[in-house]
Amino acid sequence: MRGGNTLKRNESPAPRIVHAGIRRVRKERMLLISFADSRVLGLPLTLFPTLAVAGPAARNDIELIARGHGLRWPQLDLDLSASGLLAGNPEFTGSARKVATERRLKDYFRLLQDFASKSLAG
């Protein structure tokens, strides 16, 4: 099998992202994503330490990539896929863990444990 297609048979691709932005919802900063199929997804920035600690200019410099199937923050060298976002996947990079450790982002490590538990159970 050639190419980079990771979809399983009969699995549809994630919907295209049409807009994304960072907004404060109540007291928490959230990554809000609008999809072409009219869904809107909100994820807390605690899932993404690189975004959580970035300044507003870098955090708000968002590009759509892969024909709307991903987001890129060029100033932060961070890419997130639509399918990963829909699954609620946290940022798994080594730099994310380093930032979370340095900034003592306890919620990030709690979320990682919750995610790992769900992944092993399902």
Domain with 26, as residue range(s), is 17-121
Residue 1 has a pLDDT of 38
| DSSP code per residue over the chain | --SS--PPTTPPPPPPEEEEEEEEETTEEEEEEEETTS-EEEEEGGG-HHHHHS-HHHHT--EEEGGGTEEEETTTTEEEEHHHHHTTPPP--HHHHHHHHHTT-HHHHHHHHHHHHHHHH-
Residue 96 has a pLDDT of 78
Residue 10 in any domain: the answer is: no
Residue 5 in any domain: the answer is: no
The string of pLDDT tens digits covering residues 4-33 is: 443 345 556 779 999 999 999 988 999 999
The string of pLDDT tens digits covering residues 39-83 is: 999 999 989 999 999 999 999 999 999 999 999 999 999 999 999
Decide which of 107 and 78 is more confident: 78
Q: How many domains does the chain have?
A: 1
Residue 82 has a pLDDT of 94
**CATH code (residue 64):** 3.30.2020.40
Residue 11 in any domain: the answer is: no
